[in-house]
Amino acid sequence: MMVRLGRFMFRYRNGLFPLVFVLAFFAGRPHYPFGRSDVDFLFDLVGMFIALAGQSLRILTIGYEYIVRGGKDHKVYADKLVQGGMFALCRNPLYTGNLLIAFSLALIIHSYGFYLIFIPFILLAYASIVAAEEDYLRTKFGAEYERYCAHVNRWWPRWSGFAASIEGMRFNWKRVLVKEYNTTFVLIAALVGLDLWSDYESTGPSALPSSASVMIGTTFWLGLYAAVRALKKSGLIRG
């Protein structure tokens, strides 16, 4: 059951995830936890920290040992069993990073729609996708994959082995810039935008910065994004 569901989720995740996000967005208005702005500020701080942790995990993963994402023909696929870098500490570091980011968004928005719809969906989606991927890898790599599973956690990295896992490796910041710049820019913009939206829904227009500040910040961020994208497209940086 979970394997079949995971294959479906893997194939259509690029459409399903945003769809459920939008559904959760409209399902419930944000509000201050316990009606208190100081508690909301604490939720925001914790959410930002978790988002930073999730994105940092993604960056470490891509910087040390890249794995081809997206499968093949919208199906789970791997031409080799990647076991280096962060994959020596955790079998699904990118998915773990994504889950941390999802939790961070829920904390910042603090909407019942995100707690009751988006988070349960994300948990089910990644649990089923991992089940499908494990079924594929176990079939393709057999005993090698079983040995790998025996000493590497499925979700949470075993940080005590970090130094050994990257020994002799060089962090590829160019690959991170090329492969992860879009996710990083969108995440930061989303965190700021959703936080402003949450404050607006909770207290009204007085919670928002001036229109000039919003325009300057937006222009700067879009300009920086365009510059990085242009560098990538020009071939001046390659991963």
Neighbouring-strand partners of residue 72: 75
Q: Is residue 97 part of a domain?
A: yes
Give the domain CATH number at 120: 1.20.120
Stretch 192-202: mean pLDDT: 79
For residue 227, tell me if it sits in a domain: no
3-class secondary-structure state, position 66:
coil
Q: For residue 89, name the pLDDT band (cuts at 50, 70, 90).
A: very high
- Tell whether 197 is covered by a domain: no
CA distance 221 to 189: 8
DSSP 116: I
Q: Does 182 map to a domain?
A: no
Residue 38, pLDDT score: 76
Structural domain span for residue 34 = 2-170
Residue 175 lies in a domain: no
Q: Flag whether pLDDT at 70 surpasses 70.
A: no
Burial 20-56 (b: 16+ CB within 10 A, else e): bbeebbeebebebeeeeeeebeebbeebbebbbbbbe
| 208, containing H or E segment | none
pLDDT of residue 200 exceeding 80: no
Strand partners, 153: 90
What is the number of alpha carbons within 13 Å of residue 127 lying toward its C-beta? Answer: 8
Rounded to whole angstroms, the Cα distance separating 40 from 75 reads 41
> What is the reported pTM?
0.87
Distance separating alpha carbons of residues 68 and 201, to the nearest angstrom: 40
Flag whether 219 is in a domain.
no
The answer to whether position 201 is within a domain reads: no
Sequence-separated (6 or more) residues with CB below 8 Å from residue 121: 20
pLDDT tens digits along 9-61: 988 888 999 999 889 888 878 877 777 777 888 988 999 999 999 999 999 99
What is the domain count for the chain?
Answer: 1
- Whether pLDDT at 226 is above 90: no
* Residue 180: per-residue pLDDT: 85
Condensed to tens digits (0 to 9), the pLDDT of residues 101-146 reads: 999 999 988 888 889 999 999 999 999 999 999 999 999 888 999 9
